[in-house]
Amino acid sequence: MKQVTVQCPATVANLVCGFDVLGMALDAPFDYMTVTLCDEPGITVTSKDGFPLPTDPAQNTAGAPLIAMLEELNQPIGFEVVIQKQIKPGSGVGSSAASAAGSVVAANHLLGNRFSKADLVRFALFGEKVASGVKHADNVTPCIYGGITLIRSIFPLDIVTIPAPDLHVTVVHPQIEVRTSDARQILRKQVLLKDAIRQWGNIAGLVAGFMKSDYDLIGRSLEDVIIEPVRSMLIPGFDEVKESCKAAGALGGGISGSGPSIFMLSKDQATAASLEKIMKEVYTRIGIDHHTYVTTINQQGVKVIS
């Protein structure tokens, strides 16, 4: 039986100023997925974790990318997918991307790696379309490539991997659900030129900061004048977490993807751990259940583990 199990990393999309264009993979949490190649055409997706999943593969974030892949292959084969989800849907750390990316990386492995990573991103985007109504690539790309990635263009797909210095990442996931589709709906459709200028200065500064290992430049560039002012209203405690973490030595941070998770970057592990304490204090006081992760940037992306 041709079967493979993959580990799929959580991801932080946007990286504050880079809405829909920047993202990075994390070393925690992970989803796990076992995919079996079948002689019969068709795709089945089942979940072992109690999160309700659409049973129609076309409506499923793991199933839709496989349908796209099989259409391109044009062969009478199928896949069975079993998902063990640990990245909670609606958390803002790329749960749908982990399913979409994991299924195509696993299937490609079973097919002898005939597709490139960029092809896999193209297929995985069908999963994001199912999940949020839009093909945004800033979660699936770092999930597949690992590290920090820039989507310079989505149509046609143009992916740039960005080297970065060692960074520690602290994430808090307040246990409220923010649906990406809702968080996109509330955004203004037009931006002021002065805001656009500030934003593209920050995106360029952030990428340069990563590539030059210039921590101060990274910190200065972690500013979002377009999306965060609107979306932060959906996240109780956001301003307090951000201000307190920066005062405690975080380089900066903001909303992870479309929220409600908040992430902070720091230079060292001790600071990253102190930020976790601050995040826990804020949400304990507000009375919102939460999970935290103190982690680093995952360099490998989806990994075949057996």
Is the C-alpha dihedral spanning 126, 130, 134, 138 positive or negative?
Answer: negative
136 binds ligand HSE (CB under 6 A): yes
Residue 13 or 278: the one with the smaller Cβ distance to ligand HSE is 13
Residue 13 or 297 having the CB closest to ligand HSE: 13
184 part of the interface to ligand HSE, by CB under 6 A:
yes
* CA-based nearest residue to 97, from 62, 55, 69, 71: 62
Q: How big is the chain, counted in residues?
A: 306
- Determine the interface stretch with ligand HSE among 42-50, 52-60, 179-187, 212-220 (rule: CB under 6 A): 179-187
The footprint of ligand HSE on this chain (CB under 6 A) covers a number of residues equal to 12
- Which residues does 28 contact at the CB level (< 8 Å), separation at least 6? 10, 293, 295
* Contact call for residue 173 and ligand HSE (CB under 6 A): no
How many angstroms separate the most distant Cα atoms in the chain? 58
Per CB under 6 A, does 65 bind ligand HSE? no
**Parallel, antiparallel, or unpaired for β 3-13 and 78-84?**
unpaired
Min dist. Cβ of residue 231 to ligand HSE (A): 8
Q: At closest approach, how far in Å is the CB of 169 from ligand HSE?
A: 16
Asked if residue 33 lies in contact with residue 45, where contact means CB atoms within 8 angstroms, the answer is: no
Residue nearer to ligand HSE on the CB measure, 79 or 102:
102
Annotated catalytic residue: which of 34, 149, 170, 180?
Answer: 180
> 11, 34, 61, 128: which one is catalytic?
128
Candidates 12-20, 72-80, 201-209, 271-279 — which segment interacts with ligand HSE by CB under 6 A?
A: 12-20
Phi, psi of 153 (to 5 degrees): -150, 145
**Please, what sign has the CA dihedral across residues 171, 175, 179, 183?**
negative
Contact pattern for ligand HSE over residues 139 through 158, marking x by CB under 6 A:
x-------------------
Residues 6+ apart with CB under 8 A from 234: 178, 183, 186, 259, 260
Class of residue 162 by CB neighbours under 10 A (exposed 0-12, middle 13-18, buried 19+):
middle
Other C-beta atoms lying within 10 Å of the C-beta of residue 215: 16
Please confirm, yes or no, whether 292 is among the known catalytic residues: no
- Is residue 232 near ligand HSE by the rule CB under 6 A? no
- Interaction between residue 14 and ligand HSE (CB under 6 A): yes
Is residue 128 annotated as a catalytic residue, yes or no?
Answer: yes
Options 13, 121, 222, 241; binder of ligand HSE; rule CB under 6 A: 13
The residues, any chain, with a CB within 8 Å of residue 114's CB and separated by 6 or more, are: 108
Which of 4, 25, 123, 138 is close enough to bind ligand HSE by CB under 6 A?
Answer: 138
Q: Which residues bind ligand HSE (CB under 6 A)?
A: 13-14, 19-20, 136, 138-139, 180, 183-184, 257-258
Active-site residue list: 128, 180
